[in-house]
A and B are shown apart, each in its own frame.
Chain A
């Protein structure tokens, strides 16, 4: 792979880091960029990105959601690909922007064009970059949570598993109800905290039942929810974004919610 980075890049990729990665966990952004660069792409992080607008969109605030969607469309023009380390934000751009802007013909067209270039990270690595993970080692047992938007809006299920199979020393042990929501749901988790807590507790029980050392997922929202609950219940299971494992940085970066000590 390294040879390719020295020659002509395979194309330009704009990384849409997502607001959670930007604010809380830059290591996911760096891991994503590393994976894309290793695959031979020239990576850029457009400065004008803040959020995909999902909080407004899912709260019924169409006006602000539209304005943010237009901002994203503008700032991601011209790149060959837009890659997002999140099924949720990726789904917003690919499936919801065109619908959100359907009444404004030129914007709708631009939204569809952007959707055509936008990929969730693991899917891009498997289906566009044809990456085969090698030379990455992580000893232990992991389980994988399928985040809902990635799974059902974008059909992502096999891609992360295929990539994880290339990590040496890592065993993937599936949990029960891997396709059931962890209870995050964006603003849901703070609007209905008791219900959300029940859902994430069920998720944690399923994770625990696998006796895995790690839980991975492709969405930081779900991971914060799951890791936050694991920590609250003093469970030793460590949570990482899949990009951190695939890029080999999980060995040097502390797990989500873990301190330096």
Chain B
């Protein structure tokens, strides 16, 4: 999708006023946060596991060239093919070409955020290939023609009523708005998707982990749709960012243990599949051809700079599940495929700093995301670094810049600052002392729109303190 991150403020306002969305969002925190915590508390040494996850990712990133070559060699030995896509356009072209080579008419897709990132569906549509999303959440938002609002639960913003309406309209052509039960909706989607699985020519999936030593990839789902997507069609295409690589199977198991617990609060997802190459002679099923499309799309640029730590991300979504801002506005307000804290770092890196000015700033730096990140990405620090990059590139708004400049000028002149503070506080204190607060105040409307401003008690602490000391020494 095209980035709409420059519309963050109006989108956030809209989201806050959308009762359906607010109803849906309340479930996010309640579900994900509690389930994760229960499992993390149970795990003997989750902090140690996080340390290991970080170390594995840091090591891999430091030697990415070696492991990428190793991975390609192993995939080739297993009969598969690795494709390198530096840009979104290259990634689209590679996948479209693969589909054309086998005259594909229909493609089934497992959930892939990398695919969302390079706008794969749009490219396949343009090439005349029908694509069907097979993850239930992705299927729902495909019907609604919406982007995902969460990287793990793409349709988390939808209420059951909205899904009922979508299914009635698209499956039955009716607008009966009687609320339907969840099993009923799931079974209906399952029935429709089954036919698609059986008639697809190409199956496209993401990959949760790529293993250099074996050329394998891991696919984790809770619906089993990933397995039907990769094993039934003639051709399997996996698409993933280069940062998904780990050196060994042992490393992959560490990442998967972190992933399931952090993402959905499960010890293991319902389906965890390891795929190595296409179908071998003795195999009873599997595709005839296996392709891995590795995407750069700005990642090597990050590798060499201060935002390298972001490449440790394993896409679990814990940061957004624990983010109070995400909980208030949902994923769509962030304007691109990656929402929440991780998206507020990634989107500016991929889409550009100038088109995403709000993202690094729309955060209270409360640090809850960092405290749950399975690979210990210092998200608040990275967001602050992005603010600094904005400031350095003159992207910080003029009022903020000038305001900071004036304030700092005084803050660096303590005597002048104290004198000015005495006058200002004295005035405000006299105005507000009786009531103790202001309902409205010139220049403070952003504060007073939603809350009162407590009035100063009287003289500044500095002045009062010195007064008292003088009296004491008398």
Which residue numbers of A lie inside 8 Å of B, CB to CB? 17, 21-30, 33, 45, 47-51, 53, 55-62, 64, 67-68, 71, 75, 148-149, 152-153, 179-181, 183-202, 224-225, 227-229, 231-232, 253-254, 256-261
Contact A60 B371 (CB under 8 A): no
Taking the closest CB of chain B, its distance from the CB of A28, in whole angstroms, is 8
Taking the closest CB of chain A, its distance from the CB of B201, in whole angstroms, is 45
Given A192-B12, A231-B451, also A58-B436 (CB < 8 A): no
Taking the closest CB of chain A, its distance from the CB of B157, in whole angstroms, is 16
B126 within 8 A of A: no
B460 within 8 A of A: yes
B370 within 8 A of A: yes
Contact A232 B408 (CB under 8 A): no
Contact B384 A148 (CB under 8 A): no
Q: Which residues of A contact B408 (CB under 8 A)?
A: 56, 61, 64, 67-68
B414 within 8 A of A: yes
Contact B462 A22 (CB under 8 A): yes
Can you spell out 19 A-B residue pairs with CB atoms less than 8 angstroms apart?
Answer: A22-B421, A23-B460, A25-B456, A26-B459, A30-B464, A45-B462, A59-B387, A60-B384, A60-B386, A71-B414, A149-B365, A180-B366, A183-B364, A193-B446, A200-B451, A224-B454, A228-B453, A256-B454, A260-B433
Which residue numbers of B lie inside 8 Å of A, CB to CB? 9, 12-13, 16, 324-325, 328-329, 361-368, 370-371, 384, 386-392, 396, 400-401, 404-405, 407-408, 410-412, 414, 417-418, 421, 424-425, 432-437, 439, 446-447, 449-462, 464-466
Contact A225 B396 (CB under 8 A): no
Complex CA distance for A200 and B9, rounded to whole angstroms: 18
Q: Which residues of A contact B414 (CB under 8 A)?
A: 47-50, 71, 75
Taking the closest CB of chain B, its distance from the CB of A5, in whole angstroms, is 13
Q: Nearest 6 CB-CB pairs, A to B?
A: A185-B364, A228-B451, A259-B436, A60-B387, A197-B450, A60-B391
Q: Which residues of B contact A229 (CB under 8 A)?
A: 450-452
Complex CA distance for A250 and B434, rounded to whole angstroms: 18
Nearest to A231 among chain B residues (CB) is B452
Contact B367 A225 (CB under 8 A): no
Q: How many inter-chain contacts with C-beta < 8 Å in the A-B complex?
A: 224
* B364, B370, B461: the one within 8 Å of A22 (CB): B461
Contact A259 B435 (CB under 8 A): yes
Contact B396 A259 (CB under 8 A): no
Q: Which residues of B contact A55 (CB under 8 A)?
A: 404, 407
Taking the closest CB of chain A, its distance from the CB of B401, in whole angstroms, is 8
Nearest to A88 among chain B residues (CB) is B365
Nearest to A151 among chain B residues (CB) is B367
4 additional A-B pairs beyond A49-B462, A194-B450, beta carbons within 8 Å, are: A22-B421, A55-B407, A67-B412, A200-B451
Contact B437 A148 (CB under 8 A): no
Complex CA distance for A188 and B323, rounded to whole angstroms: 14
Complex CA distance for A186 and B400, rounded to whole angstroms: 13
Nearest to B322 among chain A residues (CB) is A180
Complex CA distance for A57 and B424, rounded to whole angstroms: 24
Q: Which residues of A contact B363 (CB under 8 A)?
A: 185, 188
Contact A62 B368 (CB under 8 A): no
Nearest to B392 among chain A residues (CB) is A60
* B329, B387, B439: the one within 8 Å of A195 (CB): B329
Contact B366 A152 (CB under 8 A): yes
Contact A60 B434 (CB under 8 A): no
Q: Which residues of A contact B417 (CB under 8 A)?
A: 50
Contact A258 B404 (CB under 8 A): no
Complex CA distance for A149 and B364, rounded to whole angstroms: 10
Taking the closest CB of chain A, its distance from the CB of B454, in whole angstroms, is 4
Contact B364 A153 (CB under 8 A): no
Q: Which residues of A contact B390 (CB under 8 A)?
A: 60
Complex CA distance for A198 and B412, rounded to whole angstroms: 35
Taking the closest CB of chain A, its distance from the CB of B460, in whole angstroms, is 5
Q: Which residues of A contact B388 (CB under 8 A)?
A: 60-62
Contact B411 A199 (CB under 8 A): no
Which one of B12, B424, B459 has the greatest number of beta carbons of chain A within 10 Å? B12
Q: Which residues of B contact A67 (CB under 8 A)?
A: 408, 412
